[in-house]
Amino acid sequence: MSTRPTTLITGASTGIGAVYADRFAKRGHDLVLVARDSSRMEILADRLRRETGVSVDVLKADLTNSAELAAVEARLREDSSIEILVNNAGANAKGSFAEQSTEDVAQIISLNTTALTRLTNAVTPRFAKQGKGSIVNIASVVALAPEFGLTVYGATKAFVLFLSQGLHLELAPKGIYVQAVLPAATRTEIWERSGLDVNALPAVMEVDELVDAALLGYDRRESITIPPLPEVDQWDVYNAARMAMFPNFEQTHAAKRYQAA
């Protein structure tokens, strides 16, 4: 049993989640792995137990299923050893918005936003009472770029970014660290499942490099980590422009440009 806090990771059977599991295990953290594919998680868990000696629990759950989601929520509420939550589970669907079915859209929103928010909400009261804890939310640079065309997926990731920023402001004074990680194109199975050829993309980051960069941001206690962004000044300018609008939001009347001549 590790003396370090336990980390619960969603979407842990493959890709980004599996690499997070590897890295946290190598840091000496016990793990709770959550995903639909229990066989893949068991293989990963066996390897991590052998290589690192940490304890690894496998919790099979489809986070779009309300009963299975509730079971993970209960674990987060009741297991005081869990002090790190990595909200990694996410999905996209094939086609453009006009081509996606209502069920496709509902599934994307259910996993990418509803499940993430509910899991975060389940653990936050305990973290606040303990005065410590970390929440890592995997968003995407698509949250900042509707031009990429991934309309619903991007909208869910914009939600994750906003939620993380709001939680950072609210929870940091309570001792809770919140990080939003914004990957660009990363070599994971989400592309194939979305009907896209990852090898046709102009630039793709390997998942190990993405997670290692995100963890460097985690260690630095960044609230926003954008691994592919070369100059942090670009984010600072973007954020400053956003904040410069604040004084103009408090107005008694509509701006003159919206008033009749």
The CATH number that domain 4-230 falls under is: 3.40.50.720
For 24-47, what is each residue's pLDDT tens digit?
999 999 999 999 999 999 999 999
Does the pLDDT value for residue 238 go beyond 70? yes
pLDDT grade for 200, boundaries at 50, 70 and 90: confident
The alpha-carbon radius of gyration of the chain (Å, integer) is 19
Percentage of residues in the chain with pLDDT exceeding 90?
86
- Summarize the confidence of residues 139-156 as an average pLDDT: 93
**pLDDT at residue 219 above 90?**
yes
Domain ranges for the chain, please list them. Answer: 4-230
Return the active site residues.
153
Q: What is the mean pLDDT of the chain?
A: 94
**pLDDT number for residue 236:** 96
For residues 105-116, average pLDDT: 97
- Give CA–CA dist 113/91, Å, rounded: 10
- Report yes or no: 3 and 28 within 8 Å, Cβ to Cβ: yes
Which pLDDT belongs to residue 141? 94
Neighbouring C-beta atoms of residue 13, cutoff 10 Å: 25
CB 30 within 8 A of CB 48: no
153: pLDDT strictly greater than 90: yes
Per DSSP, what are the bridge partners of residue 7?
31, 84
Q: How much is the pLDDT for 201?
A: 67
